[in-house]
Structure 1
Amino acid sequence: MLLCVGSFFGPAAAAEWEEYRAGVKKAPIPTYVLGANDQDTVHYFPDVSGCELAENITYLGRRGVFSGASGLQIAYLSGTESQHEPALACNFSSKDVTELTTSLLSTPKFRGVDILLTSPWPRDVGNFGNSPGEIDPKKCGSALISNLAASLKPRYHFAALEKTYYERVPYRNHTVLQEAPQHVSRFIALADVGNTSKKKYLYAFSIVPMSVMDPAELVKQPQDVTENPYRKLRKEAHKAKTLVCAEEEPACQFFFDLNKSQGKKRSSDGKGGGNSQPKQPKKPPQPTGPCWFCLASPEVEKHLVVSIGTHCYLALAKGGLLPDHVLILPIGHYQSVVDLPGEVVEEVTKYKSALKEFFRSQGKRYVLFERNYKSQHLQLQVIPLPLNLCTAEDIKEAFITQAQEQQIDLVEIPEHSDIKQVAQPGAPYFYVELDTGEKLFHRIRKSFPLQFGR
């Protein structure tokens, strides 16, 4: 079987194509092609639902799923992205993507497709992955195809319109620590046939349909697997959709007008009724030896202290990366964020909010990290960076890229989640938090480079 992506008909294809149509020439193996990418070649495809163009050459159609006798599933989408409805014959729209996605996701026990064929690249496919060279995936390709790939979870995704070869390292289709492992996806872009640079335009491989694969074998994760490159796009699309819904259906707002105290547990200060006694705050554990960060310790370099709260204090970092590199530290002796009682966590949150407001007034954003490994007292490192030099996404991508280079499995966890939900007390970990609320986490199992965060 030969699958063709990109533009099947070249600018001077008419004469040669007539020989195939007349039967003078014949494709040696069954060949399946995508539709037109421009108006000039639309006439070659007489039926948008798919048809045989010549012996052994089949046009798959505008969109759909081709299922082989072996159980192999091939999803396909012809054309280039259009922002208008109805789309031209050489384009696809969000409606096409939605209908294709819905038709597959509605099937029982859907896990993904074996192959996805599109002509344009998916937007942002290079996120967290190896570089495609001269092509910038943030500026080319289709966001709709990114959403399609994220939904359909193809084991292999082929595209071709950028006319260069690029084989991205595999990426995950599940969220580590929150979802069961799923198969990985591989994106492969092919160059144009007969290109003078001799870039690869043919990719030969054998594939066992996922429907007959051993589940354990299917979900094996290769060593070079990365985070899903489309997560940010999907998050933005979801936010935009939510915003549109809020604007179009203001009546839905009553869901958010409920009394804030409703559904909460009765407070333990006795004001909620009953005879409950106020709880005494638990005393922090005592250090087993001298501690450089317990505020009451004579070892603390108090000239670096900036602010002292009830449970936490703020200090300049000794040997900081920048002049305004600061630490948030608990006054009592706690080893990690996971060990902090509620009142200390609350004050840490207040310090983070105050620092965010302060740094934003200075034209900066901060990145915070904690290394709970070979340290006895919690240190939240807070490092400000100029807003005009990097975005939050740049910072996150830099951490993930560096982690991959050092074989560190740094994964994104939901913004609303608590670090205590993913880290066990006493277990070492490395944790990053951006001032946008985005979080990255690595569970340390053996060794860890002490200066990684810096």
Structure 2
Amino acid sequence: MSDRVEKILVCGNVEGRLNQLFKRVSSVNEKNGPFSMLLCVGEFFGSDNSQWVPYQKGKLKAPLPTYILGPHNHHTREYFSDMKGCELAENIIYLGPSGIYPCSSGLRIMYLSGRETDKKKNDLSFVFNDIKALETQATNKPTIDILMTGQWPNAVCGFVKKPEGYDPEADGSTMISRLAYNVQPRYHFSGLGEVYYERLPYRNHKILNEPTRHVTRFIGLAKVGNPEKQKWLYAFNITPMVHCEQSELNKQPPDVTECPYSESINTQQRSQACAKVSGAQFFYDMNAKFDDTERGKKRIGDGDKGGERKRLPPKPTGPCWFCLASPEVEKHLVVSVGNHSYVALAKGGLVSEHLLILPIAHFQSTSDLEDDCREEIEKFKSALKRMFKKKGSSVVFFERNYRSQHLQVQVVPIPKNTVDCTLETFMNIATSFNLELDEIPKLSDISQVAPPGTPFFYTELPTGEKLYHRVKKNFPLQFGR
């Protein structure tokens, strides 16, 4: 199991002191490394960011891959070119407003930028539905190794002594307390308190009433270069939870305490469930769904009598390469993320601009989709048609719901001078395979023709024709290609 161990560094508020930070990181890495990454919790930029310029211009490089949270103050907002998440300089990556970053080693890092607000969300804050979205992302596979938040959880000091110089009950976040309680990270780091505080580990189960679970360790870090010389750089080893033996993972240290959070924290914020959520994120965005009707914008799924309960997507039976919350997704291929679907480059595409449109949640085919997801996919189709038209191309869309687990709408641009022969080409190839392609009305929808669970092949041609084949047996999997 030793070859699975990750060595990680975490720092508190940097506030522009990059030279001091990276000099220390280089020294620690040389003496005790190699470390795989540096995580920065809190404010990365400050009032004086002159030391940032050589890193931004590529003259200097961070000694380790450095992952940072977003801005917490208005005067640092300008240094983030894309608030959804981006690489700010070589080896310095802004993760995004919130999400889960799955490392190739199996380590899963959850991150949340900004400060809590019960008002309108902006680039410096998060709202209740951001917390709910993170909890949803962790539900299918609750293996969060590390939680990164700028703000502290307000209730973290229950059953233990508070730190000197900072009161989390006054300045911390109730929402983050709830998040930590529900996702049960193994490590939780925060930096905005600007004091060093390593809480005694706490258990995530009720003794005698629940099976033994792993403990959580909360660490608050001081500001880089603080005059009090409080600890601002933390080094630790961790084996990703997915590679841990359960007995080893659930060992209880002798100084473990009860969990500082309680179930009541889940009911305290229910009134905020209708807070408006906006914005996407770099890796994935799984915001809660809403029914924006005149009945009062009631939240779907809470049993409201005024709204229709929506069907939940089925869970995959095994690892899915296309569910956006899955660690198997190759997120470097993702192009754009919407509220219910996303666009990605095809791996091994027919042409360099071969794309896929996929639902964020697990749906097998277009026939299974909810209306809001289907509408968003149609918007993506329209936008891609316009884009490729400007580039002098037309588009063929096709979908195969046969021996496939997750819906993939294939998007293949073709030269305009080949458009007139696409219908003939499809028909000729179908004939060579002894397949029947039926043309369905142009204004119809595939869900009207193929009920959920029906295996089929379906294509939309740039000339407007829609072709459908009901798969029975021995369908060539590469027919569309």
2:131 aligns to what?
97
From the superposition, tell whether residues 236 and 33 of structure 1 become closer, same or farther in structure 2 (CA, over 3 Å): closer
1:257 aligns to what?
none
Match of 2:270 among 232, 235, 241: 241
CA shift digits 1:244-301 (9 cap, x unpaired): 99xx99998xxxxxxxxxxxxxxxxxxxxxxxxxxxxxxxxxxxxxxxxxxxxxxxxx
Match of 1:18 among 37, 42, 53: 53
Superposed displacement of residue 194, structure 1: 0.2
1:42 aligns to what?
77
More strand as a share of residues: 2
Superposed displacement of residue 240, structure 1: 6.1
In structure 1, the gaps of 5 or more residues are: 253-454
- CA distance in 1 between partners of 2:38 and 2:179 (Å): 23
Could you say what secondary structure the match of 1:162 adopts? strand
- CA distance in 1 between partners of 2:197 and 2:79 (Å): 29
Could you say what secondary structure the match of 2:233 adopts? coil
- CA distance in 1 between partners of 2:68 and 2:271 (Å): 37
Residue 34 (structure 2) pairs with residue 3 (structure 1): no
- % identity of equivalent residues: 47
- CA distance in 1 between partners of 2:54 and 2:273 (Å): 52
Superposed displacement of residue 162, structure 1: 1.1
From the superposition, tell whether residues 243 and 152 of structure 1 become closer, same or farther in structure 2 (CA, over 3 Å): closer
2:313 aligns to what?
none
- CA distance in 2 between partners of 1:26 and 1:221 (Å): 40
2:64 aligns to what?
29
Could you say what secondary structure the match of 2:264 adopts? helix
Q: Which has the higher contact order (CA 8 A, sep 6+)?
A: 2
Superposed displacement of residue 134, structure 1: 3.0
1:124 aligns to what?
155
Q: Considering only CA atoms, is the larger Rg found in Structure 1 or Structure 2?
A: 1
After superposition, where does 1:332-371 map in structure 2 within 5 Å? none
Q: Are the aligned partners of 1:130 and 1:169 in contact in 2 as well (CA < 8 Å)? A: no
After superposition, where does 1:196-235 map in structure 2 within 5 Å? 196-231=227-262, 234-235=263-264
How many residue pairs get aligned? The number is: 243
From the superposition, tell whether residues 239 and 201 of structure 1 become closer, same or farther in structure 2 (CA, over 3 Å): closer
| AA matched with 2:77 | V
Superposed displacement of residue 242, structure 1: 8.8
Match of 2:177 among 129, 136, 146: 146
- CA distance in 1 between partners of 2:173 and 2:250 (Å): 27
Could you say what secondary structure the match of 1:7 adopts? coil
Superposed displacement of residue 84, structure 1: 1.4
From the superposition, tell whether residues 29 and 83 of structure 1 become closer, same or farther in structure 2 (CA, over 3 Å): same
1:133 aligns to what?
164
TM-score between both structures, scaled by the size of structure 2 = 0.48
From the superposition, tell whether residues 104 and 237 of structure 1 become closer, same or farther in structure 2 (CA, over 3 Å): closer
CA shift digits 1:399-425 (9 cap, x unpaired): xxxxxxxxxxxxxxxxxxxxxxxxxxx
Superposed displacement of residue 101, structure 1: 1.1
From the superposition, tell whether residues 148 and 251 of structure 1 become closer, same or farther in structure 2 (CA, over 3 Å): closer
| AA matched with 1:241 | R
CA shift digits 1:145-195 (9 cap, x unpaired): 111111111100000111100000001111111111110000000000000
- CA distance in 1 between partners of 2:173 and 2:218 (Å): 14
Superposed displacement of residue 140, structure 1: 2.0
- CA distance in 1 between partners of 2:165 and 2:77 (Å): 30
From the superposition, tell whether residues 17 and 126 of structure 1 become closer, same or farther in structure 2 (CA, over 3 Å): same
In structure 2, the gaps of 5 or more residues are: 1-36, 275-297, 306-481
CA shift digits 1:205-234 (9 cap, x unpaired): 111001000000000111111111111xx4
